[in-house]
Each structure stands twice: as structure tokens, then as C-alpha cells.
Amino acid sequence: MKIFFVTTNLNKFEEARDILEKYGVKLKIYREKPVEVQCEKIEEIARLCAIKAYKKLKEPLIVEDAGLFIEHLKGFPGPYSSFTYKKIGCEGILNLLSHVTNRSAYFLSVVVYVDEETLMTFKGKVKGYISQDKRGEKWGFDPIFIPEGSSKTFGEMTAQEKNTYSHRSRAMEKLGRWLRKKEKQVFV
Ligand code: ITT
């Protein structure tokens, strides 16, 4: 089964591809920025982006919107994660949290699948903490996020390790299981 992932973010694409290939899905990248709408809810952003993308592509596709929500900052950067990362990066977040003891945060991923007859939403969340320093490489906020149950930041993990914890893998696993069921129904 071939599905397009409409995204400009190659890291997101590779993480999703590794999960979905276990479910027999051939994920293809369609490198275009989903036209984002100004909205506080990433669920709504992802849904509207997916509908717009489907009108153009007319092929089964997914769009993902993700964000980092920091408790002490009342959920910031949340839906503004991409913009915030570009403007202030990991260092900016660490500065905002210097001397702050409550470092709880979570990542949320919302994946929307669309084809000619269905629109389905899958969510994945991982709770954790913002580290004291940047550790490891990778991309985005990976070097400052430690998931619950680990002492490493995402930036210090291999791709496979990150996929055992991440918000994205949790949402993509749900999508994979649903697609497998959907395929079976078609051929019964
Ligand atoms: P597209 O909209 O083109 O898919 P994007 O990078 O803008 O790409 P998002 O809006 O979903 O994608 O992501 C928001 C930002 O949140 C992203 O740019 C990263 O800075 C951060 N982010 C989300 N998931 C992450 C992860 O798994 N690891 C590190 N940072 C992440």
C-alpha cells in the first residue's frame, strides 16, 4: 500500500517510514509545507492541512502536526513549536527554564490520514522532562527532551530507541494497526 506523507521535514518522514514499513506501508514523501492555519489546537491544524493537501494530491496521504508542550510555560511552545525552534532554538527554551524546577513537558503528535472516503486522526503523546543542558544531536528539540523511563535525551538515542518512546511512533503505530485492519476488510 502506498501513502504520501506531506511534509518538508525529512526527520519526521524517516521516523514514520520506519514504523509504517512494519505494516506493509510504502511511505512516499511529498515535500510541500502543508498550508498551516493559525490555530491553537494542533488537531485542527493537522485536519485542515490534510483536507487541503488531499484536494490537491487526490491520493491517500497523511499529514502530521507535532509540538512540545512545557508545563511551566503553560503549554508553550505547543502549536508554535516550529516557529519557536527557528527563532530561539533549544538554547532559548533552556534559558526560559533556567532556575525553574518544574521541567515537566510532553510531545504530542497528531497524524491525519485521508483518502477518498475516510478521514481518520491518530494521536501519540510522550511525557517527560526538559533537560538542564543540550545533550546529543538529532533535530528540533530532541537534545533537550528526556522521556519518562529513560535518562537519555531523544538526541542521545538511536533512531530505533527514540521510536520505542516517541509521540510520533505512538501515533504511527495506531495508524499502522488501523490500516492493516482496513486492508483486510477490503479483501474479505
Ligand atoms: P512540516 O509542517 O513540513 O511537516 P515541521 O517541522 O514544521 O514540518 P511540525 O509543525 O509538526 O513540523 O513540528 C513542529 C516542531 O516541533 C518541529 O519543527 C520541531 O522543532 C518540534 N518537534 C516535533 N516533533 C519533534 C521530535 O520528534 N523531535 C524534536 N523536535 C520535534
Over its length of 188 residues, how does the chain's per-residue pLDDT go in tens digits? 999 999 999 999 999 999 999 999 999 999 987 666 677 789 999 999 999 999 999 999 999 999 999 999 999 999 999 999 999 999 999 999 999 999 999 999 999 999 999 999 999 999 999 999 999 989 999 999 999 999 999 999 999 999 999 999 999 999 999 999 988 776 55
Write the residue with the smallest CA distance to atom 8 of ligand 1: 9
Residue located via cell numbers 483518502: 115
Residues forming the active site: 65
Quote the pLDDT of residue 36. 62
Q: Is 121 left (phi over 0), alpha (psi -120 to 50) or beta?
A: beta
Domain ranges of the chain: 2-186
DSSP helix/strand/coil, 12: helix
Write the residue with the smallest CA distance to atom 28 of ligand 1: 142
User: What pairing do the DSSP bridges indicate for beta strands 2-6 and 61-70?
Assistant: parallel
User: What pairing do the DSSP bridges indicate for beta strands 119-130 and 61-70?
Assistant: unpaired
Name residues contacting ligand 1 (CB within 6 A): 7-9, 12, 33-34, 64-68, 81-82, 85, 107, 139-142, 154, 166, 168
Rg (CA), the chain: 17
Q: Quick one: which atom of ligand 1 is closest to the CA of 162?
A: 27
Amino acid at 162: K
Top mutation candidate among 4, 9, 30, 87 for ligand 1, by most atoms within 8 Å of CB? 9
Top mutation candidate among 68, 90, 157 for ligand 1, by most atoms within 8 Å of CB? 68
What are the start-end ranges of the H helices in the chain?
Answer: 10-20, 42-57, 81-96, 159-165, 167-187
Q: Quick one: which atom of ligand 1 is closest to the CA of 84?
A: 20
Phi and psi at 168, nearest 5°, equal: -65, -45
Spelled out in words, what is the top-level CATH class assigned to the domain 2-186? Answer: alpha beta
State in Å: Cα 173 to ligand 1 middle.
Answer: 18
